[in-house]
Structures are given as C-alpha cells and as structure tokens.
Amino acid sequence: MDLYVPVGMGCAAADNGDQYLVVEYGESPIGCKVCEWMFVYGSSGAPLNKSVPPHLGTGAELRPNNEEYDRLLGERGLEHPRIDYPGAPGRLLHRNTRKDEVESEL
C-alpha cells in the first residue's frame, strides 16, 4: 500500500464493545474499483489484516484483495461501517450490504 493513500475512514464496533478504525486506501481523489483496499486497525494502531497479493482475478474480473478484511469482519463480529471521505464531500460508501452503493448527502 506504499503507493496508495488513505481516502476514507469509519469506525466499527464489535458486540463485546471493542472498537476499530477502518481505513480505505486507494487513489485520490476519485479512486477506482480495482484499487480500493480496506484495513482494520485495533487499539495498538497496527493493521489487523493484509492484502497480499494486492489484486485477485484477471482482466474484467480484476478486483482488490479484500478477502482477509472480509474474513476479519466475520471473526470479530463487525459490520462494514459507513466510510466517510473527507476529500470528497457528499460521498459515502456503505459496503455492509455486501454490494457497493454510493449515496450523496446533497
């Protein structure tokens, strides 16, 4: 992720009360569908998941590798939180339906 920047973030809470920071890395300012990776950070400040290799699939099936992120959500009892994009006012992403949908606050 050295070549990418944090583009959005949100907070997630587990049933036991543990709280986590979720950061989306990608290309600023608009991003792309194959370069948006999700990372969960715990209280130590270190990421709890990886994206190795960074992409899965090929050609039209190319996508960011968020498999470990998705697995971690299930293990910790987390839902994907609302992601706020400070550099792109009005853009919110809700992945917790397992289908990306972008809303506008306009």
Q: What is the pLDDT of residues 14-28, one digit of tens each?
A: 989 999 999 999 877
- Which residue intervals of the chain are DSSP H helices? 67-76
**pLDDT at position 4, please?**
83
Rounded CA-CA distance 32/63 in Å is 10
Residue 60's contacts (CB-CB under 8 Å, 6 or more residues apart) are none
Contact of 73 with 80, CB cutoff 8 Å: yes
Rounded CA separation 36/31 (Å):
7
Distance in angstroms (rounded) separating the CA atoms of residues 34 and 96: 18
Task: Give pLDDT tens digits for 28-55.
Answer: 766 677 889 999 999 999 999 999 999 9
Q: What is the pLDDT of residues 50-76, one digit of tens each?
A: 999 999 999 999 999 999 999 999 999
Average pLDDT over residues 95-106: 42
Please report which confidence band the pLDDT of residue 3 belongs to, taking 50, 70 and 90 as the band edges: confident
